[in-house]
Structure 1
């Protein structure tokens, strides 16, 4: 029999019923993972304790308990000089263990750099995960006004955003209906313009033209173009997308960039099969 977790044992000892104790343990685990996810998103500088609590909506004692436990286990490091907490060696080890699953991202990196260099805009690599999309990386172009809406590690309901919607459009109609039903509440709360009707219209347009154009549904001033990336079995698993201010994505440039992203996706799929090097025979972006 598996030994009960420390959190579960503590909760039972405190007199909670078994069912509630299990819920308390799950809640503690989720909160601890939320701390790790937050530190992943903010980068190497980390955050001070009061900021961790504020961003996650935790009271001071809970934030301290969770974060210090993560420090004790090596998942978080504390800098005594700055007072900041950042990811520790155990988090790095977990990342290394998971890294082989992200071989596609490594293959995409030079293509992402080329697209950002050619277009001057911000390029994103996103993966499909259940009813969500997760941004794994972003590559900046040299245009001075940059998209700050999406950062590596951010999670979005599938269908919200150009890359996310491009992946959704590559699924079956039945899968789309199921996913939209499951993430409807989150979309309504966080992205009110991303209604079922709006997303279904984007899905139809994406299927017709081969790329998705999100006309500022998430943020009015930020438009984006995205295409799906398929695995060796023809299943949509990722997307490449590009975001820019609306004035940079007029009809002609949208079409040119959409086709350029389609070429990049095809290149990436060819790289999975070991057929050619990135950048070969690719048209220039505009």
Structure 2
């Protein structure tokens, strides 16, 4: 039996909307996602979004706080995540090192991996400095040419891959990030290749700067990055060197473990 083309398109659209809503909730999971914010971000009508979210709530993929009405990821997502965890769990390998960097610098530390044309924050550690810079929530996805950690991964990809990513991500970067500059990204890539790390201003938050360095697999392919974000006034030359030294020492300890696990597998 042949399924009519409109049905295929309709089914695909529903899947895309479900995925977009799940990502939207995931990006805001720390404080909860408001329906109006999800609708605005995804460009979906409120009744449609509400209907899909309530369906996800009934399946345990999403939960809704009764008092605030905000949406959070449900327990079923956690269970699926455990089943889907890669044999090399980057978060487990890096978590204690992120905490050490946060303790050493006092600032907020992030772990980013690549997911297609995006960078995804998979872990975060908070330092003791009273002004917290929460550039990323765990689970937040952004184009891989946005953000220090993502740029640290992008910078060490093959030249053809970099060009492909910049071309595909251009329109959505310009739409969602008014301060985005491809020329500046290219400058950051060139500087990163020369220095081995990224230093860049955060496009969404004026006055905030990030330092990041990549983590490589056994083939010298960038698979993740560690970044520290803080007020740019805290990153003068001497302190930038201190922060970078903390990051590099952590990566020196992480990479041998990553290589050993890959060899065993």
TM-score (norm 2): 0.87
Unaligned runs of 5+ in 2: none
Equivalence for 1:190? 176
The question of 1:104 aligning with 2:90 is answered: yes
For the 8 Å contact 1:159–1:166, the answer to whether it is kept is no
Partners of 1:185 and 1:57 lie apart in 2 by: 16
The question of 1:134 aligning with 2:120 is answered: yes
TM-score (norm 1): 0.81
The question of 1:270 aligning with 2:262 is answered: no
For the 8 Å contact 2:33–2:72, the answer to whether it is kept is yes
Equivalence for 2:99? 113
| Change beyond 3 A, Cα 1:246–1:85 | closer
Equivalence for 2:198? 212
Identify the structure with bigger relative contact order (alpha carbons < 8 Å, sequence gap 6+): 2
Unaligned runs of 5+ in 1: 5-17, 276-286
Partners of 1:190 and 1:217 lie apart in 2 by: 11
Partners of 1:174 and 1:155 lie apart in 2 by: 23
The question of 1:162 aligning with 2:148 is answered: yes
Larger CA deviation: 125-134 vs 90-99: 90-99
The question of 1:23 aligning with 2:5 is answered: no
In the TM superposition, residue 238 of structure 1 has moved relative to its aligned partner by 0.5
State the Cα RMSD in Å: 2.6
Larger CA deviation: 130-139 vs 239-248: 130-139
Q: Residue by residue, what CA displacement relative to the aligned partner does 1:22-44 show, whole Å, maximum 9, x if unpaired? A: 22212211222223223323336
In the TM superposition, residue 241 of structure 1 has moved relative to its aligned partner by 0.3
Larger CA deviation: 107-116 vs 53-62: 53-62
Equivalence for 1:70? 56
Q: Residue by residue, what CA displacement relative to the aligned partner does 1:80-106 show, whole Å, maximum 9, x if unpaired? A: 566554333322221111223561111
| Change beyond 3 A, Cα 1:56–1:174 | closer
The question of 1:143 aligning with 2:129 is answered: yes
Higher gyration radius (CA): 1
For the 8 Å contact 2:28–2:140, the answer to whether it is kept is no
Partners of 1:117 and 1:159 lie apart in 2 by: 28
Moved over 6 A (4+): none
Which SS does the other structure have where 2:89 is aligned?
helix
In the TM superposition, residue 135 of structure 1 has moved relative to its aligned partner by 0.8
Q: Residue by residue, what CA displacement relative to the aligned partner does 1:221-268 show, whole Å, maximum 9, x if unpaired? A: 110000001123321110000001010001222123223312222211
Partners of 2:171 and 2:39 lie apart in 1 by: 25
